[in-house]
């Protein structure tokens, strides 16, 4: 499926691969995995979409046939995992060239391009009326955070939640916790400029780990009479992942890892934390089966059930993409 990309967002995952730290990174490559566009043409055998359809490319596809797709417990379709990781299409070739040389694909999407080509299982057809400069965010960040709360953690009404990292994904987690009916949502970030926005999304209070001599998990346990019901790590820092688990309540606390840590890093805690009833979980793309759910998320946005516009801080022309990355790195 060849599509014209109308809008794309930038994400820390793109920067991570760009940095050279990603063991799966192949170069030269066209990055980008949070986009939206219009189908320009389809190849032989493609029946799900046609020219002119409005679509969101999917970095986690949904073939509907593999054992992962058939299992309701996961959204991690494995049909094209190997080739996608190698930066090529399912047939082993690339659709990008520059000056006669091959360029690799990224996460099966490559949205930092005027036109991109994706596998037919890596695209979701969405409402044609949706504003693409907004719903492109449902291709990664918002869906990931929102799903971490409602699908992975299954946050319950009246519960207490802690969200570590108040970037786009953290804000989406807060939104999910609020929609799920959490009564207390504590935002945690060293950047206090993010607190006002977090409160707009539903955080009831915000704290910085730098404001106390005690470890943040101890502060949270004291604040919440024994710990939170649900915690979410939205940074990708293994030390914070430990703190998030240890901030959970004994007996039933659940901590979800949403952030992606650098290659080769390991998490640690005392096994007693788990023996005494805490659960450690992880999530990718918020647990959503992509082809089925991305169109539904667009519909939820169009009916004002979920926020999307409020996540957009800057809109730049494509040739200022480096400026967009600078804004992201500076937390703006």
Please report, for the domain that includes residue 72, its CATH number.
3.90.180.10
Distance CA 329, CA 102 (A): 30
Q: 116 and 161 in one domain?
A: no
Q: 92 and 76 in one domain?
A: yes
Give the DSSP letter of residue 246: H
Q: 130 and 6 in one domain?
A: yes
**Ramachandran quadrant class, 262 (left: phi over 0; alpha: psi -120 to 50; beta: rest):** beta
Please give the backbone phi and psi of residue 13, each rounded to the nearest 5 degrees, phi first. Answer: -65, -35
- Tally of CB atoms within 10 A around 85: 13
Q: 249 and 232 in one domain?
A: yes
Q: 152 and 125 in one domain?
A: no
- pTM greater than 0.85 (yes/no): yes
pLDDT computed for residue 143 by the predictor: 98
Q: 100 and 193 in one domain?
A: no
Please report, for the domain that includes residue 227, its CATH number.
3.40.50.720
Q: 203 and 313 in one domain?
A: no
Q: 159 and 279 in one domain?
A: yes
pLDDT computed for residue 24 by the predictor: 85
Q: 68 and 9 in one domain?
A: yes
Q: 279 and 293 in one domain?
A: no
Q: 124 and 18 in one domain?
A: yes
Q: Where in the sequence is the domain holding 311, given as residue range(s)?
A: 2-139+289-330
158: nearest Cα among 183, 179, 176: 183
Helices (H), the chain: 12-18, 67-70, 81-85, 132-135, 141-147, 168-179, 195-201, 216-223, 238-246, 271-275, 290-302, 321-329
pLDDT computed for residue 22 by the predictor: 86
pLDDT computed for residue 23 by the predictor: 85
Q: Given the DSSP bridges, would you call strands 115-117 and 123-125 parallel, antiparallel or unpaired?
A: unpaired
How many structural domains does the chain have?
2
Q: 167 and 243 in one domain?
A: yes
155: nearest Cα among 145, 166, 164, 165: 145
pLDDT tens per residue, the chain (332 residues)? 999 999 999 999 999 999 988 888 999 999 999 999 999 999 999 999 999 999 999 999 999 999 999 999 999 999 999 999 999 999 999 999 999 999 999 999 999 999 999 999 999 999 999 999 999 999 999 999 999 999 999 999 999 999 999 999 999 999 999 999 999 999 999 999 999 999 999 999 999 999 999 999 999 999 999 999 999 999 999 999 999 999 999 999 999 999 999 889 999 999 999 999 999 999 999 999 999 999 999 999 999 999 999 999 999 999 999 999 999 999 89
């Amino acid at each position: 499926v060849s599509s014209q990309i109308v809008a794309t967002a930038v994400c820390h995952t793109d920067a991570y691969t760009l940095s050279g730290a990603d063991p799966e990174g192949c170069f030269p490559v066209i990055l980008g995995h949070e986009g939206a566009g219009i189908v320009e043409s389809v190849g032989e055998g493609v029946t799900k979409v046609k020219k002119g359809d409005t679509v969101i490319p999917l970095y986690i596809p949904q073939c509907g046939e593999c054992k992962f797709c058939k299992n309701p417990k996961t959204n991690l379709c494995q049909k094209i995992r190997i080739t996608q990781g190698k930066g090529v299409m399912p047939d082993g070739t690339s659709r990008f060239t520059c000056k006669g040389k091959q360029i690799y694909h990224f996460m099966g999407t490559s949205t930092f391009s005027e036109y991109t080509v994706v596998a037919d299982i890596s695209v979701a057809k969405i409402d044609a009326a949706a504003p693409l400069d907004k719903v492109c965010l449902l291709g990664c960040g918002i869906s990931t955070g929102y799903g971490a709360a409602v699908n992975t953690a299954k946050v319950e009404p009246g519960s207490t939640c802690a969200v570590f990292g108040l970037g786009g994904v953290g804000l989406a987690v807060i939104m999910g916790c609020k929609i799920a009916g959490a009564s207390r949502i504590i935002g945690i970030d060293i950047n206090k400029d993010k607190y006002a926005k977090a409160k707009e999304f539903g955080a009831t209070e915000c704290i910085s780990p730098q404001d106390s001599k005690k470890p943040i998990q101890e502060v949270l346990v004291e604040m919440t009479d024994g710990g939170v019901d649900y915690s979410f790590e939205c940074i990708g820092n293994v030390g914070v992942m430990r703190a998030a688990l240890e901030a959970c309540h004994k007996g039933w606390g659940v901590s979800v890892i949403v952030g992606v840590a650098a290659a080769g890093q390991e998490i640690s805690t005392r096994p007693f934390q788990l023996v005494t009833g805490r659960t450690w979980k992880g999530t990718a793309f918020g647990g959503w089966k992509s082809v089925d759910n991305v169109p539904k998320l667009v519909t939820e946005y169009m009916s004002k059930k979920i926020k999307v516009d409020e996540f957009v801080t800057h809109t730049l022309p494509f040739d200022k993409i480096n400026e967009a990355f600078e804004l992201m790195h500076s937390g703006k």
